[in-house]
Chains A and B, each alone.
Chain A
């Protein structure tokens, strides 16, 4: 009886996890390489909520002294980087963290710069979907990352 009960719980747990995880998908996760003595680097990705209920990205976990969600606001040519506590991911929508806007900030790189060709393993933590693993590919910075290029 006890065994059955445990198995039932485990099944329930699995089912819940599976259903929740299927609601969030990520794409194009990348970070730009940094200088050898860089102290911070930015991560970018697109998050799609394929589910029917709204979700919220509340944290990103990775092996750095500090990882935060940021956005930049501009007011008359002054840039202010703002720390975000959460990023809403509405049902059925894709939210892109792109250069010039929102980004994941990996802080405290001291001595361990982001190197082209390497990857950053991280976990996105969602209010509903829970933990979603993601791998950021570290790429060279080029004008494709220039959000204000006239090609856009």
Chain B
């Protein structure tokens, strides 16, 4: 399963499934209880817009072990739950002296202005970084991370967006470490992240 094809829901699903299967079958072999996906180039360079309206790149944003999630602020239920989970994982790790970052990347650039993503992320964690961008910038970042999103057509103001819900653990130098599905509890996210962070240190 080469995780390099993107662009349709079927492909996104196929990628997700491939990664998941690989992870499940190899989990026992890895001391972090999880592992990297061989050959799957998840992540990489992106250019987006920060909460203050400045253009930033992955090098500015991922300066330490970082949990990266793609969502949209109009989403009243799933995104807040997942974002809260990541914020709590960061707090658990902070208590243990492990400093990690949390990032929320909007897949709804039309409605999510820098100010809106800024307020949204502040609601969960003081240090959470909210990013948005032009439709092209967001598309490119999403494709780099192999995430799927699609705005549901029909309503210009109150439209919904289908989107992937996995959270990625990224490192500044080495990039992608693993990903977490949304049913992974904060404690487990923290534990696995700490393991990878310890290995990288």
Contact = CB atoms under 8 A, between A and B. Distances in A.
* Leading 8 A-B pairs by shortest Cβ distance: A42-B76, A35-B119, A76-B13, A148-B183, A35-B123, A80-B162, A150-B185, A81-B160
Given A108-B158, A150-B187, A103 B182 contact: no
A68 B155 CA distance: 13
A12 B78 CA distance: 45
B17 A76 contact: yes
A13 B11 CA distance: 58
Interface of B: 9, 12-13, 16-17, 20, 73-78, 80-81, 84-85, 88, 111, 113, 115-116, 119-120, 122-123, 148, 157-158, 160, 162-166, 181-183, 185-188
Interface of A: 32-42, 65-66, 68, 70, 72, 74-81, 83, 99-100, 103, 105-108, 141-143, 145-150
Given A76-B17, A79-B163, A66 B119 contact: no
25 contacts: A35-B116, A35-B119, A36-B119, A37-B116, A37-B119, A38-B73, A38-B120, A40-B75, A42-B76, A70-B77, A77-B164, A77-B182, A78-B9, A78-B12, A81-B75, A100-B77, A100-B81, A103-B77, A105-B76, A141-B84, A143-B85, A143-B186, A146-B185, A148-B183, A150-B188
Contacts of B73: 35, 38-39
A146 B79 CA distance: 11
Given A41-B76, A74-B165, A108-B157, A34 B123 contact: yes
Contacts of A39: 73-74, 111, 116
Contacts, number: 116
Contacts of B185: 146, 148-150
Contact of B122 (A35, A76, A146, A147): A35
A141 to B, nearest CB: 6
A150 B75 CA distance: 23
A146 B189 CA distance: 14
Given A103-B76, A143-B88, 10 more contacts: A35-B116, A37-B115, A37-B119, A38-B119, A77-B165, A78-B148, A78-B165, A81-B78, A81-B162, A99-B77
